[in-house]
Amino acid sequence: MERWDHFTTVEQMEEVSVKLKEQACAVCADTWESRVKNQTPHCKLGDSGICCRICSMGPCRITPKSPRGICGADAGAIAGRNYLRMVAGGCSAHSDHGREIAHTLYSASADGNYKVTDEKKLMDLAAEWGIETEGRDLYDIAHDCAYKGLLEYGKPFGNLLFLERATEERQQVWQREGIAPRAVDREVTTAMHMTHMGNTALPEALVRQSLRSGLADGWGGSMMGTEFTDILFGTPKPTNTEAGLGCLDKEMVNIIIHGHDPAMSEMLVVAAEDRDMLEYARSKGAKGINICGLCCTANEVAMRHGIRMAGNFLQQENAILTGVVEMIAVDVQCIFPSLGPLSKCFHTKFVTTSPIARIPDAIHMQFTQETAREQAREMVRMAIDNFENRDPAKVFVPENMKQKATVGYSCEGIIETLDTVTNSHVDLRSTYKPLIECMDSGVLRGAVAIVGCNNPKVRPDYSHIEIMKELLKNDILVVTTGCSAQAAAKAGLMSKEAKELCGEGLKRVCTLADIPPVLHMGSCVDISRMMLLVTGIAKDWGIDVTQLPVVGCAPEWMSEKAVSIANYVVATGIDTYLGIEPQVSGSEEMMELITNGTREMVGAGYIINTDPKELVKAMIDGIEAKRAAIGI
Ligand code: SF4
Ligand code: MSK
């Protein structure tokens, strides 16, 4: 295979996928590509959101001949209820993840499996929440913070505490529109209750609750997930790593960690570094133990430990198809059930660790906070023992498919980076002002947050990568999380060399600050960091979030979590560009509400276009229009 330089193209990634599909054929395994064929064409009514099976009088489908369900619900009611249920699903997933991390922090102790790593962040949070710190034991403070965080899920009165981090203007908008979220669980339950048979049939009310439930995710559950994860495992700082399936190593014991909650993956990373484990691996003929991440787990461990990222959502099967994965250990969310049967075609051990994600054909080892360290060691040992079972005839590692990446630009990481270029200007220190000056002067035209998954409805990774490249060319900085981040890293867009793809202005900024033009901000829950980033920029600039030359984009989204995210991003005042149509197109009223109606409520909405070239053009036009509106 020919050597790839600093960048990997989508065509090269696809070449590798074709080779790996040959591996699948050889072992008679199906893959998402073959299943997409079986599922196409999709049911039009489901795809446009106008099939209702909320009660057993149905399912009811809306057609020109039957414009109402048996109860009388019309297309707007049905599409609106389905949409809100997606938001509730997404909010519950992110928020339950945040809750698990809060429990992990509650279990932390000086001599336990989990410890406090970022003491400053803990102290700052304690001060923000009015928790006494003077003369108290660190872990007593940690437990009080975790407990207060847990109460945010079910408190009977008041709004979420983190809303106070938003700009004054946003807080007023949320109160004015009646969408300021109460306890996290309340907003999920209300969404489910509103959509129960015989309740809300008014699309506008369903859209309002979607915004509110979304906010409960972004400014509640997700933000708690991010905050507590940083306290436990460290706030990310710029760190070097690599990305792509070529990170798997034929000579080593390969363990893939996949999912979202870092409580399991962090322990595996630590266990794989134990000297006795390394010696054991060597005794079995391996050069060492190679942990690689997939999906958001990859983001979590890459930005804190430099662990390499094997790939994103639609590469999970490809990873197993390389034939060199001794174990794939998963926790929650975005895990294909196909990994069970597929791993059986190879020597790979597929291990589930959470009661939330039980999957057939997996070995289930339920992870607990008390036994995490020992369990992680047991899993590493199991992977090492499996090394000798590898079948050399089934091995194909695309060694060239690997790029350098600098990851871990948390808000703190961004501020520290900006401080390195403002040494002599005291008034600019520890602010976003240097970034604002670049945008104000036009050296940077603006910024786009590109997030989200892969979706076979569009060419996987193509939209992420090509949209990013076009933005860079136009001097627009990109921040990214989730599987979009891994698409960028695999393509080489998170390497410092990527400044060569930028317009003159962005290239100058990258050189001066020594940053890649695509900044990695973490996993899906870390989109909460992006909310704090835009809030910080708006405060330092003295304008509203809606006025910033900043937009959001999810070009290949697929999950309910993405719908929840899109709702809180819009509610935070950021226009959101979608490359996959939300499943509401069967109702003109719903389409109008999510693209325009929300603009009257919160000052932002969706722009939907399934053609990535048109989508990026619309984004650039949108950013230029925002610049013109504030006279820059
Ligand atoms: Fe049909 Fe109404 Fe029941 Fe939905 S809630 S399945 S539209 S009867
Ligand atoms: S992992 S939600 S496929 S981004 Fe967060 Fe990737 Fe989407 Fe899952």
Q: For 353-402, list the strands marked E by DSSP.
A: 363-364
Q: Which residue has the tokens 């892969």?
A: 454
- Span from the CA of 557 to the centroid of ligand 2 (angstroms): 8
Mutate to test the pocket of ligand 2, among 96, 525, 561 (most ligand atoms within 8 A of CB): 561
User: For 396-445, how does the pLDDT look when each residue is reduced to its tens digit (9 = 90+)?
Assistant: 999 999 999 999 999 999 999 999 887 667 788 899 999 999 999 999 99
Mutate to test the pocket of ligand 2, among 296, 333, 561 (most ligand atoms within 8 A of CB): 296
Nearest CA to ligand 1 atom 2: 71
Q: How many residues does the chain have?
A: 632
Ligand nearest to the CA of 566: 2
Section 517-546 average pLDDT: 98
Mutate to test the pocket of ligand 2, among 96, 316, 483 (most ligand atoms within 8 A of CB): 483
Please identify, by atom number, the ligand 2 atom nearest to the C-alpha of residue 559. 2
Mutate to test the pocket of ligand 1, among 55, 66, 81, 82 (most ligand atoms within 8 A of CB): 55
Ligand nearest to the CA of 51: 1
**Kind of pairing between the strands at 239-243 and 403-407:** antiparallel
Residue 1 has pLDDT above 80, yes or no: no
Rounded to 10 deg, the angle between the 482-491 and 295-305 helix axes is 70
| Ligand 1 residue neighbourhood (C-beta within 6 Å) | 52-55, 57-60, 69-71, 73, 78, 197
- Give the predicted TM-score (pTM) of the model: 0.97
Please identify, by atom number, the ligand 2 atom nearest to the C-alpha of residue 484. 4
Instruction: Give dist(CA 433, CA 57) in Å, integer.
Output: 59
pLDDT of residue 98: 98
Mutate to test the pocket of ligand 2, among 559, 560, 561, 565 (most ligand atoms within 8 A of CB): 559
- Span from the CA of 318 to the centroid of ligand 2 (angstroms): 16
Give the residue with greater pLDDT, 409 vs 3.
Answer: 409
Please identify, by atom number, the ligand 1 atom nearest to the C-alpha of residue 58. 6
- Span from the CA of 82 to the centroid of ligand 1 (angstroms): 12
**187-193 contacts: CB < 8 A, separation 24 or more?**
187/91, 187/212, 187/213, 187/215, 187/216, 187/220, 188/88, 188/91, 188/92, 188/95, 188/213, 188/216, 191/84, 191/85, 191/87, 191/88, 191/91, 192/85, 192/88
Ligand nearest to the CA of 455: 2
Section 235-258 average pLDDT: 98
Q: Where are the alpha helices (DSSP H) in 493-611?
A: 504-513, 527-541, 560-571, 588-592, 598-602
Q: Is 132 in contact with 142 (CB distance < 8 Å)?
A: no
- Span from the CA of 60 to the centroid of ligand 1 (angstroms): 6
Ligand nearest to the CA of 452: 2
* CB 561 less than 6 A from any atom of ligand 2: yes
Percent of all residues in the chain with a pLDDT value above 70, rounded to a whole number:
99
- Span from the CA of 542 to the centroid of ligand 2 (angstroms): 34
- Span from the CA of 485 to the centroid of ligand 1 (angstroms): 40
Instruction: Give dist(CA 598, CA 590) in Å, integer.
Output: 11
325 forms bridges with which residues in the sheet?
254
Section 574-585 average pLDDT: 98
Percent of all residues in the chain with a pLDDT value above 90, rounded to a whole number:
97
Residue 124 has pLDDT above 80, yes or no: yes
Nearest CA to ligand 2 atom 3: 453
Q: Which residue has the tokens 């109702």?
A: 587
Residue 2 has pLDDT above 60, yes or no: no
Ligand nearest to the CA of 524: 2
**For residue 297, which of 118, 116, 486, 456 has the smallest C-alpha distance?**
486
Residue 77 has pLDDT above 70, yes or no: yes
pLDDT of residue 426: 75
pLDDT of residue 425: 75
User: For 455-492, how does the pLDDT look when each residue is reduced to its tens digit (9 = 90+)?
Assistant: 999 999 999 999 999 999 999 999 999 999 999 999 99
Residue 42 has pLDDT above 50, yes or no: yes
Instruction: Give dist(CA 215, CA 195) in Å, integer.
Output: 18
Residue 523 has pLDDT above 90, yes or no: yes
pLDDT of residue 520: 98
Section 308-329 average pLDDT: 98
pLDDT of residue 429: 85
Residue 96 has pLDDT above 50, yes or no: yes
- Span from the CA of 128 to the centroid of ligand 2 (angstroms): 30
Maximum distance among all Cα pairs of the chain, rounded to whole angstroms: 72
User: For 43-56, how does the pLDDT look when each residue is reduced to its tens digit (9 = 90+)?
Assistant: 999 999 999 999 99
Q: Is 600 in contact with 177 (CB distance < 8 Å)?
A: no
Q: Is 388 in contact with 280 (CB distance < 8 Å)?
A: no
Rounded to 10 deg, the angle between the 138-151 and 119-128 helix axes is 50
Q: Where are the alpha helices (DSSP H) in 542-587?
A: 560-571
**Average pLDDT value for the chain:** 97
pLDDT of residue 3: 43
pLDDT of residue 424: 66
- Span from the CA of 55 to the centroid of ligand 1 (angstroms): 5
